[in-house]
Structure 1
Amino acid sequence: MKHFSLRLSAALTGLTLITGLGASQTLAQTPGQPLNEAVVSTLHDCQARFSQCQSATQNAAGILVFPSVVKADLIIGGSGGKGALIEHGKITGYYSLGAASAGLQVGVQNASQVYVFKTQSALNELKQSQDWNVGATSNVTLMAADANARASTASVYAFVFDTKGLHAGLSLDVFDVWKTGGARPSNH
């Protein structure tokens, strides 16, 4: 019973944070030096941990990095994070990621996510869309530590790592991604 109380308390705390963040559309990290440093550090960490990330990023059209994506659920839940787009070694834009969920679920999770755009066409889809959906398209492949990136025909590779929390595990949920500073898509 004590473990359930601790989990419930953690889930409520996380849900309160996510709900508050979603309402204001502002996360603790805003575009600027702290986010830039976290993005670069997260990308280097991904490249050091996964040889596939290292090789995929060498000739990528763009790399979208979310250092911290927080997911919290207590029947109603949500996920959110801030990140940056890197093109030719420079940060060229800032993006937000979010999702809402409902159902019988309890937990809090935090993970880093790196999306490697292999083609300019795939990158243009992100940049020109008001609402790019991760996980709702077959063009995104979740890369596991032992995956062979050359065997995939997807135009975007997703690396999810440093997963911590009560939801811990490797998964790629359905997320909306939109340019930071713009309105969140109204269909959500």
Structure 2
Amino acid sequence: MIASATLRTASRFHARLAALLLAPLLAWAGPVQAETEPEALVTEARLTVDRLMADKDFFELPKFIRGAKGIYIVPQLVKGGFIIGAEGGTGVFLARGTDGSWSPPAFYTLGAGSIGLQIGGEVKEVVFVLMSDKAVDAILSSEFKLGADASISVGPMGRGVEASRTTDFTSDIYAFSKSVGLFGGGALEGAKIFERTSLNHEYYALGATPKNIVIDRKFTNTQADGLRELLP
């Protein structure tokens, strides 16, 4: 009994001592800061690319990225509707420099609406691989329409781009997507991509524009280094 009491006393003493020693360290570290909206988008974009490149169904994706001029990653493209459908999602756009390195990300939103025989709901991870300077210039314009300002090929779910199109790179943009859910009808052609000014300002500083982020590289944020280093 005496031995047990002594052990309990010693245990409480050590616990208090550990708490006293750790308290200054915890106070110095400060509270853990939650990610801002643009920071969370960059994190999710990195996870999306990592997942798709590791998926055997998307074995061609790294090859396309290695030959790309730019990349637009939408971690969550949500689509749903009955007769009148709509889809949208915000993501990040990066351009490859002349030295082969990837730029810091600029924030863009994709939005589309359509009327037709549509029913269901779907959530997609989409990676748009931009293969031409024309596509990069188009996305840097004030408003970019897929299929009109640059040609796009959309591969079937689970296999990326169709095998017949994997070697010619004839389209300006190739879309690799992974879907959850079921949706009939609609297409990405005609969808518009436009700059998210507020997110660019929040992530960098007032005055940050897609051009001076991805082309001139006047702004940077080390939080995006993991995404940039992941891209082939």
Same fold, TM exceeding 0.5?
yes
Residue 133 of structure 2 corresponds to which residue in structure 1?
120
**What is the CA–CA distance in structure 1 between the aligned matches of 2:150 and 2:67, rounded to whole Å?**
21
Deviations 1:117-153 (A, max 9, x none): 11223211211x2221124466211234252421331
Residue 139 of structure 1 corresponds to which residue in structure 2?
151
- Quick one: percent identity of the two aligned structures? 27
Residue 113 of structure 2 corresponds to which residue in structure 1?
100
**What is the CA–CA distance in structure 2 between the aligned matches of 1:153 and 1:75, rounded to whole Å?**
33
Q: Out of 67, 73, 90, which is 1:65 matched to?
A: 73
Instruction: Report the CA distance shift for 1:140/1:164 in structure 2 as closer, same or farther (over 3 A).
Output: same
Identify unmatched segments of 5+ residues in structure 1: 1-28, 183-188
The offset of 1:90, in angstroms, is 4.0
Deviations 1:138-175 (A, max 9, x none): 621123425242133112111121x1123179954531
Residue 179 of structure 1 corresponds to which residue in structure 2?
195
1:109–1:168 CA contact under 8 A, matched in 2: no
2:135–2:173 CA contact under 8 A, matched in 1: yes
Q: Which has the larger radius of gyration?
A: 2
Instruction: Report the CA distance shift for 1:152/1:59 in structure 2 as closer, same or farther (over 3 A).
Output: closer
Q: Out of 64, 85, 92, which is 1:56 matched to?
A: 64
AA aligned to 1:134 is L
AA aligned to 1:176 is K
Matched, 1:160 2:177: yes
**What is the CA–CA distance in structure 1 between the aligned matches of 2:83 and 2:184, rounded to whole Å?**
17
**What is the CA–CA distance in structure 1 between the aligned matches of 2:120 and 2:107, rounded to whole Å?**
28
Instruction: Report the CA distance shift for 1:169/1:110 in structure 2 as closer, same or farther (over 3 A).
Output: farther
Instruction: Report the CA distance shift for 1:36/1:52 in structure 2 as closer, same or farther (over 3 A).
Output: same
The structure that is helix-richer by fraction is 2
Residue 36 of structure 1 corresponds to which residue in structure 2?
42
Matched, 1:75 2:55: no
Residue 111 of structure 1 corresponds to which residue in structure 2?
124
The offset of 1:104, in angstroms, is 4.0
**What is the CA–CA distance in structure 2 between the aligned matches of 1:63 and 1:174, rounded to whole Å?**
18
**What is the CA–CA distance in structure 2 between the aligned matches of 1:68 and 1:179, rounded to whole Å?**
17
Instruction: Report the CA distance shift for 1:85/1:69 in structure 2 as closer, same or farther (over 3 A).
Output: same
CA RMSD of aligned residues (A): 2.6
The structure that is strand-richer by fraction is 1
Identify unmatched segments of 5+ residues in structure 2: 1-34, 96-100, 199-232
AA aligned to 2:54 is A
1:134–1:176 CA contact under 8 A, matched in 2: yes
AA aligned to 1:45 is R
Most deviating of 60-69 and 46-55: 46-55
**What is the CA–CA distance in structure 2 between the aligned matches of 1:176 and 1:76, rounded to whole Å?**
17
**What is the CA–CA distance in structure 1 between the aligned matches of 2:108 and 2:122, rounded to whole Å?**
20
Instruction: Report the CA distance shift for 1:168/1:82 in structure 2 as closer, same or farther (over 3 A).
Output: same
Secondary structure (helix, strand or coil) at the match of 1:91 reads coil
